[in-house]
Structure formats: C-alpha cells, structure tokens
Amino acid sequence: MSQLFSPVRIGPQEFANRIVISPMCQYSAIHGDANDWHMVHLGSLAMSGAALLVLEATAVEEIGRISHGDLGLYGDENEAALHRVLGFCRKHGSAKLGIQLAHAGRKGSAQAPWEGGRALGPEGDPWETVAPSALPFAEGWHTPREASEEDLDRIVAAFAAAAERAVRLGFEVIEVHAAHGYLLHQFLSPVSNRRADQYGGSLANRMRFPLRVFEAVSAACPPEVAIGARITGSDWIEGGIDIEEAVAFAAELKARGCHYVDVTSGGIALNAKIQIGPGYQVPFAAEVRRRVGMPVWSVGLIVTPEQAEDVVASGQADMVALARTVLDEPHWPWTAAQVLGGEVVRPPQYQRAAPAVWPGAAYKRTGRAGPRLAAE
C-alpha cells in the first residue's frame, strides 16, 4: 500500500493522504481581498485530490504585506471576500483548507515578481516597513524602522485577530509563517536581528517574539483546529540559523502545543549560498522529526510521485508540501495515485477521466494503448 496515500492525523485533524498543497503567493489580491483569480486558482487545487490546501501567506496587517497584491485578513472586506472563495472550494473540492498567517517585515513594500520583485519606488506607493533592526533586506531596499514595543504589541494583536477571522471562516489548519525571511524569521535570525533588548542576542531572546505570536494565535483557536508553523532549517549563511537552532525552536513550539512544523530554508538574505537539488530541504525536516518527535512536513523540489512516496515511507516526514510542482501540474495527486496505486477523490464532473473508465489514463503514463483505446 502506498504510504503517500495512507491517512494521517495531525493534532485534531485527520487527513486522507499525505499530500499538502503549500502556500503560494499569487500577488493578485486587491487591497488584500481575494477575487476571481483566487476562485479559479484555489478552486482548481481544492479539486486536485490533495488532502490539504493551504492558502498563500496572508498578511495580518496592511503594512505586513509583501506587495500591493498580497492577500490579507485584517479587515471585514478581506474576510467577506475569502468567505466567497472558500464556499466554492468546499462545495466542489475535497481538500481540507488551511491558511498561513504572515507579516513581511523588512521584505514588504515590494513589487510583484513579474514587475521585478524589487523594493517599491516613489511611484509605486511604498509604505514604511518595520523589522527587528533597522537593516535593509538588500542593497536598494527600504531601511525598515526598528520595531518598538508598541509595534510588537500591535503585531501580536493583529496575528490573534487574523486567527479569529480564520476560525470564523472555518479553516481546519492555521499556520504561523516564521520562515522565508519574513518578520518572525527576521527576529529568529542573527543575520537580521541585532537588537540589544530582550528580543535580541541569545537564541532564547530571538525566539521570544515569534513564540509570543504563536501563543496568541494558539489562544485564538478552538481545539478542533490544527495549529502549525513554517520554520527554517538553515539560513545558508555563516552565522545564521542552522539545524541546531531549528531543532531548538521546534521543541519550544511543541512545548506550546504546536501540532506540526513545516520545515523549509533560506530567504533571509540575497547572498545566501543555497545548495539546490531534488529534495534538498528534506534532511532538515527529517532531523527535526527525529530529534523533536513531532509531525513535520517537508518541502523543496519534491517533484515525482516516487520521490514523494520515499520521503514519507522512509520516515523523513509525515506529509509532503508541494508548491511549483502543482502549479506545473494542478492534478498531480491524480497522476501520483495512478503511479503508486492510491485513491483520490475526483469531482463527479471529472470522473470520466479516472483510470478505471478511461484507457487514455494508462496510455498517458505508459505510452501503451489500453484495451478500449481504439474504441475511443
């Protein structure tokens, strides 16, 4: 039996298989509001056969957006717009739904990737960013304001308020984004955090604010919601976060009731020397799982069904989270199920393409005609 298509429990939630569709920014919201693009994009992925679909990094306050096109959950209009999209996903899809709550910090006030991905110029309606220290993300980027105690209190409250909105919207999973160089990662990393107060210096101090945020989100969630965090396994920079610090942070999250960690890496600076290759981030997840003893998701160039199966079957991760793989092939779980002998739920409108009734499915995979192909 395929392990990738076996059920798994993460905290209070049971999932039909081990496939997660990872948060992927679309940079297509209007004033933080989801729209028809999100309806089509998320609606399609909700029907993909994955057990869980996690919405893109969603800003908890307006200045916490990466770009003008980021999804937000800081106002009633944001909540209402998402309600419409989620209704479609639930009506037609089988995936459970999660959301990743985020704050961009010093990486905010930026262009969308197809506009260049750089800091907004005066003509781009930029905004003031905040960060642990007044250090720009890279040359040519805005210098952020060092966050004051008032800023930190406001941001904690914003995460809690966004979590309350997410609960009202019925999300089964809420994930705190503490990776990819965004605000909570900025506090965790010595590369971006040079504070001399209780939030800087030692690892215990650098973890203090991200843990405050996690506790606030957790307090806003009822017992039936699975709460997790995306963390970094390495900054890929000398003097930055390494696997030892990642393990320590995961252990602190576990002690506070975190149900899983989604282990990624990089993003804190442009000069990081990341060694990219198939499954290049899986070892970070495996080490956290082994040493902390909590469920983990793994990401990073997991592309083929066989590769995903191996990650789960070998015990390196409990679930695999796919991003660009499903942008390239939105029904990747259908293909994986056929390759590995698993089962997925298809919308009734698409069941005519299932391998049991359409010989073209086998032909697509093997290049050999099935017994009914000529009749088709």
Which residues does the annotation mark as catalytic? 182
Q: What are phi and psi of 320, to 5 degrees?
A: -110, 135
Asked whether 151 and 128 are in contact (CB, 8 A), the reply is: no
DSSP 144: P
164: left (phi over 0), alpha (psi -120 to 50) or beta: alpha
Report d(CA 39, CA 82) in Å as an integer: 9
Neighbour tally for 136: CB within 10 Å: 16
Residue 244 sits at the vertex; the CA angle it makes with 255 and 156, to the nearest 5 degrees, is 45
Asked whether 65 and 125 are in contact (CB, 8 A), the reply is: no
First to last CA, the chain: 31
Report d(CA 88, CA 39) in Å as an integer: 7
What are the angstrom distances between the C-alpha of 272 and each of 35, 182, 233, 236? 35, 15, 13, 5
The DSSP bridge pattern shows strands 13-15 and 296-298 to be unpaired
DSSP 167: H
Q: Which residues contact 298 (CB under 8 A, 6 or more apart)?
A: 263, 279, 281, 282, 285, 286, 311, 316, 317, 319, 320, 321
Report d(CA 248, CA 269) in Å as an integer: 22
DSSP E strands in 107-221: the ranges are: 130-131, 145-146, 173-178
Closest CA to 187 of 236, 232, 133: 133
Place of tokens 């990738």: 4
Report d(CA 28, CA 263) in Å as an integer: 26
Asked whether 94 and 69 are in contact (CB, 8 A), the reply is: no
